[in-house]
Structure 1
């Protein structure tokens, strides 16, 4: 059992010891892909205590599973969970871990039925949260390369939007969002990592505004938050631009956010507490009198999910580690006036933080 997928499964098997389980049924499709390479839309994976694994999927993927996941056992069945449980190699009454965040009540009942079918009705079921996600935090070289590729898509798409004059007065938020998503596709994205945010004028005070029919006007700041998926890995970036002459208060707020964002990226290093990193940027915003207008956390992890561990917030108990990929995205949101957010996807290494999204963050008037 060699290779990066096997290494990941062994890491999960080792983590299972801390929760008292001797096997784990994996049902989250992203985690199945992470641990086996299988990219189908249905299945279940069983990891035993030694990291050996078996994957169940249906006949639609009979050829695909052999190609994508050659180093695990295969069961072709529509009964995914019972299919993998039937191949358990440990004692029938040994504890089995499940992904509580992915398991619905109906799926939990099906799991119990499946255990009974294979003679393991007395096996304790241990509900876990974050076991695999904890292993996923540290990105290997392949993963980092894919995230860099995803971020390069954002850079190319953003450069196209500016060069083509597609962010301008008279266009609606909805039109700008559609053009940006099309530009990401043309630049190599497999799809969006989340619904693109285009928030103009007073809508910019809403951090997760949904693009609508409001037309961009002279004097607006426009907050644009966008992300791509490339080979299963996400990227995340926000830029804020002005349409003509913006109000002085927003221009000043932009300068403060930019300073806070640059300071946050500069502070990134392994061993730094995530709450302390949040405090670096938040402290600058508070010192300039805008603290009451910055309500969300400074950032989050990025990988297979656009939001994953670690959380970079005032409440976080995590510490940055080599191999983390996070966002640094401070903002100021002034109701009735507008908002600013500046965000980069940042890789954490022993050398510090490296922004993987690289387009200019200087104040820009279009």
Structure 2
């Protein structure tokens, strides 16, 4: 259950090396987000990890210190009641501290500054994300395990679960229960404080309902206050396209996969052709996932090869469209880098991406595909299966 000490040591070394290169002269980084804390310490507690440029990193824990001691191999755990204990234990601190500005709440920052006398804040999010982007063998083994669960449930089990008259919410509950029984950790995590149980499940045009999440698809939702899990009123009928876009997690690490099913009878031929085009784009993208490739160039080159007619409703539907073709994934579903403009650092072996070319079809729903791929010298290697989607359930 414990993250190996060698793994934790390597992460810390790579983070310091990244900071030395990107922020020469840095003196102290402070980590508070629960996922970054887990990444660096192997435990997910309420506390503050201080990483000096020189000297040992210290994880100050409000609660639960006892649990951290029992589950973490991180060598320097200390108990605190408030940031006052940190100030007394650490002595003088530099005036500039690097913080997770994407994650830090203002109230937490104010409590911290009350006792820790730094005056200048600089962001550390990009450097933490860059270190997390390259997965170790240990991390890849967990993601591969998640991918096996994901593939088995969506490719082998779901066709036998679809029945005429079932509603989206009931089906989602049955799917969630099965995934947990098969090993799914029961929750998927996104950056920016967001968590959900499974993902998006849509029958027919439910899969192209506009939503607040930056994703090509959609979901009708249970209620304006709960825009997830689908609708109790939307029941499966013959001729529906069923779209399942879910995450699957194992010991923190996640995969992302979308598979579609034609229930009762085929969808229109034109929609099938558009789906097959999306699958071909996924395969094209995967072949380009090699060390040294530039994500922004992959995006630009692939998009340039698509004709205007196809681009209508590509990567979304109507005005709800996204400007990426794939995203990094790991302890968060939505990690960096992203296959999009603005991401110009070369890919490295061991990075992992969810590739998801999709297109909305009027009166049908969302066609397309998504799988999770590891960057290798031979191109992207899928760890979530090879089904082309549009599985026939007649």
**Residue 125 of structure 1 aligns with which residue?**
121
Q: Which runs of 4+ in 1 moved over 4 A?
A: none
- TM-score, normalised relative to structure 1: 0.89
Give CA deviations for 1:148-175 in whole Å, capped at 9, x if unaligned.
1111111122245335x21233221222
**Residue 88 of structure 1 aligns with which residue?**
90
**Residue 226 of structure 2 aligns with which residue?**
none
Farther off after superposition, 124-133 or 4-13: 124-133
Give CA deviations for 1:168-219 in whole Å, capped at 9, x if unaligned.
3322122222221111101101113244211221223231214113112222
- Cα distance in 1 for partners of 2:52, 2:327 equals 31
* Contact kept in structure 1, 2:206 and 2:218, CA below 8 Å: no
**Residue 5 of structure 1 aligns with which residue?**
8
Give CA deviations for 1:82-136 in whole Å, capped at 9, x if unaligned.
44444437x5345321111111111111121121xxxxx3553333332211111
- Cα distance in 2 for partners of 1:235, 1:287 equals 31
* Contact kept in structure 2, 1:9 and 1:35, CA below 8 Å: yes
- TM-score, normalised relative to structure 2: 0.83
**Residue 266 of structure 2 aligns with which residue?**
245
Do residues 265 (structure 1) and 292 (structure 2) align? no
Q: 1:93 to 1:360 in 2, by over 3 A?
A: closer
* Contact kept in structure 2, 1:137 and 1:309, CA below 8 Å: yes
- Cα distance in 1 for partners of 2:139, 2:85 equals 30
**Residue 31 of structure 2 aligns with which residue?**
26
- Cα distance in 1 for partners of 2:164, 2:89 equals 62
**Residue 186 of structure 2 aligns with which residue?**
191
Do residues 44 (structure 1) and 54 (structure 2) align? no
**Residue 118 of structure 1 aligns with which residue?**
none
**Residue 309 of structure 2 aligns with which residue?**
289
- Cα distance in 1 for partners of 2:87, 2:367 equals 51
**Residue 64 of structure 2 aligns with which residue?**
61
2:165 corresponds, among 165, 170, 181, to 170
- The alignment partner of 1:3 has SS state of helix
Farther off after superposition, 7-16 or 264-273: 7-16
- The alignment partner of 2:299 has SS state of helix
2:138 corresponds, among 135, 142, 160, to 142
How many pairs were matched up? 354
2:371 corresponds, among 344, 347, 362, to 344
- The alignment partner of 1:100 has SS state of coil
2:40 corresponds, among 35, 43, 52, to 35
Instruction: Name structure 1 gaps, 5 residues minimum.
Output: 116-120
**Residue 303 of structure 1 aligns with which residue?**
330
**Residue 107 of structure 1 aligns with which residue?**
108
